[in-house]
Structure 1
Amino acid sequence: MKNNLINIVKFLPKWKIALYVMLAFFLAFVTGIILLPAIWFLEDQSRFFESVLFILSYFREGIIIVFYLITVLIYLFLFYQYERKRYLSFHIKKISLDMKRLIQKEISAEQLEAPLEFKQLSECLLMMIEKSDEAITEVRRVEQLKNELITSVAHDLRSPLTSVIGYLDLINDDRYRDEVELRYYVQIIHDKAAHLHTLINDMFEYTYMQNQHIMLANEAIDMEEMLNQLIVQSRVQIEEAGMECRFSTETTDPKINGDGAKLARVFENLIQNAIRYGQNGKYIDIHLSDSNNMVEINMINYGPPIPTRDLPHIFDRFYRVEKSRSLYTGGSGLGLAIAKSIVEQHRGQIDVKSTTGSTIFTVKLAKG
């Protein structure tokens, strides 16, 4: 109440305050002229109040002064209530105008001013605007991602489909010299169709992993055992690439809880990535270690380094360091994006460091 009174007094011009004070005294005087004779009339005419009014008659002058002052205060209070309504209405309109200007970027949030009574309201409205801006930004980002996804998918599907249709036209028109060339065309069609199948499966799995509400299996997984199995399963590909996989471990308890099939996909992708881009280094090193609450897996290849400008985007879907190499290697551009999604679904993290001589992918998974 005290703060409100002070704020309203500061809000009013001085001439208006003086006018209200004078008006209160004048109206109190008029009220006294009207009411006091009625009281004295009761003193003369009413036996019921006779004894009380007889006593008050000794304090008649004091009563007049008290009555006058109380009446002045009553009128001042009425004027205060009137101006308080104007004060509140003024600031509500001002806050509305400021919020409109803020939305239109005419002012910044730091320029907003509001008295203490409206501070919470102003902060709530500002928070709503910020949330609204964030929602609009997120909608635009999703729209952009959707457009990029459509563009990327169309680009990646068009090339193998064009080849498939082209070679099928050659076969359909009997434009081949002999059965050997026919089988060659069929093999190309098969490879392109297999690439399309891989791409479609990867897109499906990536989209599936982006769903934050998917249910992951929760089973005990021995990471040392899993990695050994994956190395054995990949041995033929590793040997065909002229490479060797070296596995080392420094763990006391390499067990975690999670979805074994999904985590196996992570390390399959990392091994395939190391085979594709690390052949020059001849070796793939996998090192397993753990701490009290974390298991860490480092997968190292010794191929050409990833350029610094590409490192921040290496886990983006459809991102390729060499824009043309996916056609040679058969990659979909989604493997690392899928790996990142799976690791994050397990409340873990995946990072990459690349320098001249080695590229290290680090996966950290929580125990328990």
Structure 2
Amino acid sequence: MNPNPLFGLRFKLLLLVALSLGFAAGTAALLYVLATRYDIEILNAMVWWFYERFGRSVTLSVAILSLFIVYLIVFSHGTIRYLLRITQGVGEIAEGRFDSRIPVRTSDELGVLADRINRMSEQLNRSIEEERRTERAKTELVTNVSHDLRTPLTSIVGYLGLIEQDRYRDEVELRHYTGIAYDKALRLQGLINDLFEYTRTSGGLPLRLSPLNLVEMLGQLAVQFRLQFDHAGVEGVTVFAEKELIVSADGDKLVRVFENLIDNAIRYGKDGGRIEIKARREGMEAVAEIVNYGEPLPASAIPQLFDRFYRLEQSRSRHTGGSGLGLAIAKNIVELHGGEIAATSGESGTTFRVRLPLAR
């Protein structure tokens, strides 16, 4: 908001002074006429009393000055009240009441001041809320990490304890215990790697950008996942509307995104028997989609899919779900590339859609 130069505070002050001075002179003239032409004893006596002691010029000057001050106070009453309201609002904000707002009543400098104070208050309020969310997120992160690290670590310690105490019947049982401990250790390693990757991407990971053909990269990934497709009993299909979609990207990081999405589609959508890897151009964007035809996701789950540690399994089972960080990492990487990632799910399939700006 910018002050109106035609009705700025300086103009208003000059107008108030001019009006007050004009009304004071007019009122003084009116009183003089009443005293000299009409027989008003009290008024006439007061005027002549001042004339005899101070003279006509001094009496007239004092009368005009006194009336000027009175009119100035009367005419500036609204501005003074508004200035006091702004002062009160600043005091409320200083006391921590950041939801307090000052009404913007004018378009002059006082109105601009009120508007900017309101904006400052809103910004402070947003900053405090963001700090609170960050603090809650840190607490949640520590809680989730503690839970997810403790589960496999407890199993590892337990089975290694049995081995340390020679509490196994034979070599077969020993290998069974070591196998379980090894599997839990791999899960623990995977969680730590995912957690490390998430913290790196959340902190604004520097990217090594270079021109990359998204179609070629997705085609290579389809070939690499052929064995996983066969093992899961699904058909992997590529549908590319373009031969080239050149984006400026960090290839290693972007591969991580689509590896995660394809792995997610295999894990949760293999019952559909088909996974499609698509790419097309939309305006100045490259759009890639990973589609599976498994059981649709609940509508309530869609907004939370990219939250860290979110898993559809309420039991947080490690056997059916991952670390809960994969999609959060994918979202961070895509946003670092200036793109967007979203998901939709229904009877026509579950689609994870990635939009990336095309290289100029």
TM-score using structure 1 length: 0.78
Give the Cα–Cα distance (whole angstroms) in 1 for the partners of residues 280 and 254 of structure 2: 17
How far 1:136 moved relative to its partner?
A: 1.0
1:143 is aligned to 2:152: no
- Quick one: structure 1 residues 342 and 72, their matched pair in 2 at CA, closer, same or farther if it must change by over 3 Å? same
- Quick one: structure 1 residues 128 and 31, their matched pair in 2 at CA, closer, same or farther if it must change by over 3 Å? farther
Give the Cα–Cα distance (whole angstroms) in 1 for the partners of residues 196 and 47 of structure 2: 83
Q: How does 1:148-159 map to 2 (within 5 A)?
A: 148-159=140-151
3-state SS in 2 of match to 1:327? coil
- 2:240 is matched with 249
CA contact (8 A) 1:295 1:365 kept: yes
Structure 1, unmatched stretches of 5+, are 11-17, 37-63
Task: Give, as a single letter, the amino acid of the residue that structure 2 aligns with 1:289.
Answer: R
CA deviation profile, 1:213-267 (whole Å, cap 9, x unmatched): x321110101121112212222222222122211121115311111111100000
How far 1:179 moved relative to its partner?
A: 0.9
Which of 211, 218, 230 is equivalent to 1:239? Answer: 230
CA contact (8 A) 2:16 2:72 kept: no
CA RMSD, 1 decimal: 3.7
Larger Rg: 1
How far 1:205 moved relative to its partner?
A: 0.9
3-state SS in 2 of match to 1:136? helix
Q: How does 1:2-21 map to 2 (within 5 A)?
A: 3-4=12-13
Give the Cα–Cα distance (whole angstroms) in 2 for the partners of residues 326 and 299 of structure 1: 24
- 2:190 is matched with 198
- Quick one: structure 1 residues 32 and 149, their matched pair in 2 at CA, closer, same or farther if it must change by over 3 Å? farther
- 2:202 is matched with 210
Q: How does 1:214-363 map to 2 (within 5 A)?
A: 214-324=205-315, 326-329=317-320, 331-356=322-347, 358-363=349-354
CA contact (8 A) 2:99 2:121 kept: no
CA contact (8 A) 1:326 1:333 kept: no
3-state SS in 2 of match to 1:176? coil
Which is worse superposed, 203-212 or 235-244?
Answer: 235-244
Task: Give, as a single letter, the amino acid of the residue that structure 1 aligns with 2:130.
Answer: E
How far 1:126 moved relative to its partner?
A: 1.5
TM-score using structure 2 length: 0.79
CA deviation profile, 1:304-335 (whole Å, cap 9, x unmatched): 11101111111111011122364113511011
3-state SS in 2 of match to 1:347? coil
Structure 2, unmatched stretches of 5+, are 1-9, 20-26, 36-45
1:187 is aligned to 2:174: no
Give the Cα–Cα distance (whole angstroms) in 2 for the partners of residues 158 and 139 of structure 1: 28
CA contact (8 A) 1:279 1:303 kept: yes
CA deviation profile, 1:138-168 (whole Å, cap 9, x unmatched): 1111111111111111111111011001101
Count of residue correspondences: 331
3-state SS in 2 of match to 1:168? helix
